[in-house]
Structure 1
Amino acid sequence: MENKKVLVAGATGYLGQYIVKEVIKRNYDVRVLIRNENQKKYFNNVTDFFIGEVTKPESLKGICNGIAAVYSSIGITRQKDGLTYIDVDYKGNANLLNEAKACKVSSFLYVSALNGDKLWDLKIFEAKEKFVDELKSSELNYTVIRPNGFFSDMKDFLAMAKNGKVYLFGKGNFKLNPIHGEDLAKLSVDKIGGLENEISIGGPDIFTQNELAKLALDSWNKQPSIVHLPDWMRKFTIWSLRAFTSSKTYGPIEFFLTLMAFDNEAKQYGTHHLADFFKEEVKKEKI
């Protein structure tokens, strides 16, 4: 790629900050999208900032001038400011894509999630995959990266374990291999300008939910105490939330509870191990 300038959108998030560091490490020029001046404090060695909001297309004019590749991990996990998944994960990314097309960028990399294309019934994936379809029809060179859960997502298990018990639905035998943000950033930057359209990826260690629960309990030096709840409770909880709350409330819980009900394994990659991550998180809490 002759022009080596990359726009990073979603840069203030868990993954985005690792992406910015990795892009700089690889000697790419980088432009970072931020919402306000205060967010500059999150970044070292970045001089090119663009202030705008993906939900306001008029604020993005010119964002892709001189840009060769766009990397977007734009999305919301817990909704705020009255915005929905469709507003941000779909329309926000679509606004960014329109700017990329206008400036004829050479490639667009987007982060969805493992199995997102099979879970359109979940509000969060409905929005993400609606954008994936738009990206595929854009005629840009594109890559959709589908990571397994992040290490940061696994802190829910660690939080339960702190109190001495971890609750699982069913038998706890479903498998997953979450990935560290730094490992995913390395893989992602490798793919800039590449020809792979879709990549599913996970971390180096595969766990059953039972093994993950035990790892979380061990990190707190707790005796193994895993409570297996009947799966009908999981299904009833999802039904109740959908029936009696808005997607702003049930979206993240629906996502978590649905993914607890099947295997989430992807190609193993990376050098970071969840056991080390858990130890570091516990150490931070004890300081």
Structure 2
Amino acid sequence: MNLLVVGATGTLGRQVVRRALDEGHQVRCFVRSLQKGAFLKEWGAELIQGDICEAETIPPALVGINAVIDAATSRATGSLSIKQVDWDGKVSLIQAAVAAKVERFVFFSILDSHKFPDVPLMDIKRCTELFLAESGLNYTILQPCGFMQGLIMQYAIPVLEKQAVWITGETAPIAYMDTQDIAKFAVRALDVPETVNQTFPLVGTRTWGADEIISLCERLSNKEAKISRVPLKVLRVMRGIGRFFQWSWNISDRLAFAEVLATGKPLNAPMEKVYQVFGLDPKDTTTLEPYMAEYFTRIMKKLKEIDYEKEKAKKKKKTPFKSSQR
């Protein structure tokens, strides 16, 4: 199948590309920077430059394409707003896909987005779901709730570097999933007729609270975490201040996600029927503990190698000076 992956250089998008190539699809990647996407070309994908926020660049990318997997989203530190990328850009992409008579369209939303109309990203994801469903395209909507990869920056690295781990005072446990497993479902959807015009949750094998993840990191690293708890009311004040400055709108909108965590209700969903429809085995799904254990094993080994090289360099510097005899 000739497949276009949008958001191909992102944490999830690159895994979609890798999986699709491994399964024999012809993959074209829609990227803003050819240089940033060079590694995708090395894998065997075709690159085409463009931006969903520049509608005129989309149609050329869809020429000869049978299916689209859309993994693009705005960045908190990006210059474009959530509305520009996750709504305006997605509308342009979906309309261009309709015009190009694309046969399948896979879209990544967020679990329970319909429950949080006051959280900008959640509300826009829900609106995009509705727009896609009404577009006439044969669609599949996938709803993950958290990536395991994000836990490295949020928890693992601060613990290793003895920096503060920032968490909210109130937090809901989340069923994180490895992006490699999410990509597996996305690519599999292209070959399963039962996924057409359907919406599926994509969640991990169990939920994890922030304190549980911190304890896991402490055990695996043999280091004690420095925990800083931020009350929800403080985040609300920060969000309000952020709305005064255009450059911080994205950060402000992302802070609104704390409202989701503040409910205390687990972000989780039943997956038995999902595995059945996709024909995948839940035993093959990565679980959080071995995922984090693998990371810490690799990083601790690397740190030991660095310490060894430093010690070796010090010994060389301490070589006694041999004075010449007269």
Question: What TM-score results when the alignment is normalised by the length of structure 1?
Answer: 0.86
Alignment partners' CA distance in 1, 2:201 and 2:226: 33
1:42 aligns with 2:29: no
Alignment partners' CA distance in 1, 2:127 and 2:74: 15
Match of 2:269 in 1: 266
Distance of aligned partners of 1:178 and 1:51 in 2 relative to their CA distance in 1, 3 Å threshold: same
Amino acid at match of 2:139: Y
Contact 1:62 1:99 in 2 (8 A): no
- Partner SS, residue 258 of structure 1: helix
After superposition, give the CA deviation of every residue in 1:227-279 in whole Å (9 maximum; x if it has no partner): 66655445554455456774223123332x23332321234555223233334
Matches within 5 A, 1:129-144: 129-144=126-141
Match of 2:252 in 1: 250
Amino acid at match of 2:176: P
Alignment partners' CA distance in 1, 2:211 and 2:138: 41
Contact 2:52 2:92 in 1 (8 A): yes
Amino acid at match of 1:61: P
Distance of aligned partners of 1:197 and 1:230 in 2 relative to their CA distance in 1, 3 Å threshold: same
Contact 1:218 1:224 in 2 (8 A): no
1:25 aligns with 2:22: yes
Residue segments in structure 1 that go unaligned for 5+ positions in a row: none
Contact 1:202 1:266 in 2 (8 A): yes
Q: Alpha-carbon deviation of 1:191?
A: 1.1
Q: Alpha-carbon deviation of 1:15?
A: 0.6
Q: How many pairs does the alignment contain?
A: 281
1:63 aligns with 2:71: no
More moved, 206-215 vs 137-146? 206-215
Distance of aligned partners of 1:22 and 1:47 in 2 relative to their CA distance in 1, 3 Å threshold: closer
More moved, 89-98 vs 264-273? 264-273
1:149 aligns with 2:146: yes
Residue segments in structure 2 that go unaligned for 5+ positions in a row: 272-281, 307-326
Provide the aligned C-alpha RMSD in A: 2.6
> Identity of paired residues, percent?
23
Matches within 5 A, 1:97-246: 97-154=94-151, 155-162=153-160, 163=162, 166-170=165-169, 174-192=172-190, 194-195=195-196, 197-223=198-224, 231-242=232-243, 246=248
Distance of aligned partners of 1:27 and 1:259 in 2 relative to their CA distance in 1, 3 Å threshold: same
- Partner SS, residue 206 of structure 2: coil
Alignment partners' CA distance in 2, 1:166 and 1:52: 37
Distance of aligned partners of 1:102 and 1:158 in 2 relative to their CA distance in 1, 3 Å threshold: same
More moved, 84-93 vs 151-160? 151-160
Larger Rg: 2
Alignment partners' CA distance in 2, 1:228 and 1:41: 40
Q: Alpha-carbon deviation of 1:31?
A: 1.4
Q: Alpha-carbon deviation of 1:225?
A: 6.4
1:11 aligns with 2:27: no
Q: Alpha-carbon deviation of 1:97?
A: 1.1
Alignment partners' CA distance in 1, 2:155 and 2:27: 35
Distance of aligned partners of 1:251 and 1:159 in 2 relative to their CA distance in 1, 3 Å threshold: farther
Distance of aligned partners of 1:167 and 1:86 in 2 relative to their CA distance in 1, 3 Å threshold: closer
Alignment partners' CA distance in 2, 1:40 and 1:228: 37
Q: Alpha-carbon deviation of 1:99?
A: 1.6
Q: Alpha-carbon deviation of 1:198?
A: 0.9
After superposition, give the CA deviation of every residue in 1:22-51 in whole Å (9 maximum; x if it has no partner): 111221221111223313422134253222
Contact 2:21 2:45 in 1 (8 A): no
Amino acid at match of 2:287: H
- Partner SS, residue 39 of structure 1: coil
More moved, 141-150 vs 26-35? 26-35
Alignment partners' CA distance in 1, 2:253 and 2:232: 19
Match of 2:292 in 1: 278
- Partner SS, residue 142 of structure 2: strand
Alignment partners' CA distance in 2, 1:244 and 1:87: 17
Distance of aligned partners of 1:102 and 1:248 in 2 relative to their CA distance in 1, 3 Å threshold: same
Q: Alpha-carbon deviation of 1:148?
A: 1.6
